Amino acid sequence: MDGVALLLALGAALLADGGRRLARRLVLRLRRALPAEGKAVLITGCDKGFGHALAKQLHTKGFTVFAGCLLADKNGDGAVELKSMKSDRMKVLQINVCSDQEVAQAVDFVKRNLKEPEKGLWGLVNNAGVSAFGEVEFTSLDKYKEVAEINLWGTVRVTKAFLPLIRRAKGRVVNITSMLGRMVSPSRSCYCISKFGVEAFSDCLRQEMYRWGVRVIVIEPSNFVAATGILTADGIDAEAEVLWNGASDTVREDYGRAYFTRHVALMKSFVNSGLKDMSLVLNDITDALTSMHPSNRYNPMETYWWVRLQAMTHLPTAIADWLYIPGATL
């Protein structure tokens, strides 16, 4: 592809994105919102980040919020803050999404605390998640399993447990995936595998749930690392130690310490990157829960990432890699 064709393609993509945003704003304005009053939503991972902020936003809108926290039993800061609201519509409960027992107890808690349990639960937001980085040759199989256990199997476990209640309400399942649930990036295989899995799970479930009147929706945020606690400099340092020490002698020799250190520095530069304002994500989740006609996918992201996502998912692989991945050749 020569330079002019590339510029034309990018120009068209930008125009399409502008149109997309305008159309979206119009659609959101025209869409009728369902009342929040009398509806209850369970959110996982409310200790901090998107989950914590979403719990507050949905509560303000009038929902009854079941805020699942990993550290509710240990009086974690996020759980304590939500409890201190002292609202009978803000119910904080312990949920580790990796625990069958805690998830079963959460179902019991929700049933006991719904005003009209026979009408079911309106919304489930599978938000709990962890991030990870590291090239394939540095990442242990245990790390792949650990991340999938939370991001993927945690989502499957919680969804299966709450579906009977959601079906009764003809409600909504909202899964927080990522733009990395539909396109990949070097050093992110661990995270991508887990999020691609959640996308596949959500797509299958969406098709199965049409007949029950349940909507299954995915939210695919871009980079909001600066706004949430998902990636910290200390966390990256600790993880880097594990990656380097866990690699074989051959891998350490072939890649070299200098390369590895540069790579870790690059990851650290992401800690303050991305959008600092979470409202794009929070408003899309709110729309997914309240709109009479929600979208199947929401892409809260900047134009750069939207264009890249379209390129990565629509262009021939060789061209997409050549455009975005250093070292790729046509």
Ligand X SMILES: NC(=O)c1ccc[n+]([C@@H]2O[C@H](COP(=O)([O-])OP(=O)(O)OC[C@H]3O[C@@H](n4cnc5c(N)ncnc54)[C@H](OP(=O)(O)O)[C@@H]3O)[C@@H](O)[C@H]2O)c1
From 41-49, 109-117, 200-208, 257-265, give the range in contact with ligand X by CB under 6 A. 41-49
Q: What is the CA angle 243-151-169, rounded to 5? A: 175
Give the total of residues touching ligand X (CB under 6 A): 30
Tell me which of 123, 129, 171, 294 binds ligand X, using CB under 6 A: 129
Of residues 276 through 305, those in contact with ligand X by CB under 6 A are none
Provide the minimum distance between the beta carbon of 149 and ligand X in the complex, in angstroms, as a whole number: 8
- Selecting among 144, 191, 259, 304, the annotated active-site residue is 191
Rounded Cα distance between 2 and 10, Å, is 12
Q: Does 178 bind ligand X (CB under 6 A)?
A: yes
Smallest separation (angstroms) from ligand X to the CB of 184: 14
Q: Which residues in the 195-254 window bind ligand X by CB under 6 A?
A: 221, 223-225, 228-230
Shortest approach of ligand X to residue 93 CB, angstroms? Answer: 11
Residue 102 in contact with residue 42, Cβ under 8 Å?
Answer: no
Task: Give phi and psi for 87, each to the nearest 5.
Answer: -110, 140
Q: Mark whether 298 is an active-site residue.
A: no
Q: Does residue 184 interact with ligand X by CB under 6 A?
A: no
Out of 42, 43, 48, 202, point to the residue binding ligand X (CB under 6 A).
Answer: 48
Q: Closest CB to ligand X among 45 and 120?
A: 45
What distance in Å separates the CA atoms of residue 199 and residue 193, rounded to the nearest whole number?
Answer: 10
For residue 44, give the amino acid letter: T
How crowded is residue 137: how many other Cβ atoms within 10 Å of its Cβ?
13
Q: What residues are paired with 68 via a beta bridge? A: 93
Indicate whether 54 belongs to the interface with ligand X (CB under 6 A): no
DSSP string, 76-142: -HHHHHHHTT--TTEEEEE--TT-HHHHHHHHHHHHHH-SSGGG--SEEEE---------GGG--HH
Give the span between the Cα atoms of 195 and 189, in whole angstroms: 10
Contacting ligand X (CB under 6 A), which of 28, 98, 184, 251? 98
- Stretch of residues binding ligand X (CB under 6 A), selected from 11-19, 23-31, 44-52, 117-125: 44-52
Contact 267, 188 (CB under 8 A): no
The structure tokens listed for 257 are 């310490």
Binding mask of the shown chain, residues 66 to 85, with x at each position contacting ligand X by CB under 6 A: ----xx----x---------
Q: Which residues of the shown chain bind ligand X in the complex (CB under 6 A)?
A: 44-45, 47-51, 70-71, 76, 95-98, 127-130, 150, 154, 176, 178, 221, 223-225, 228-230, 274
Provide the annotated active-site residues.
191
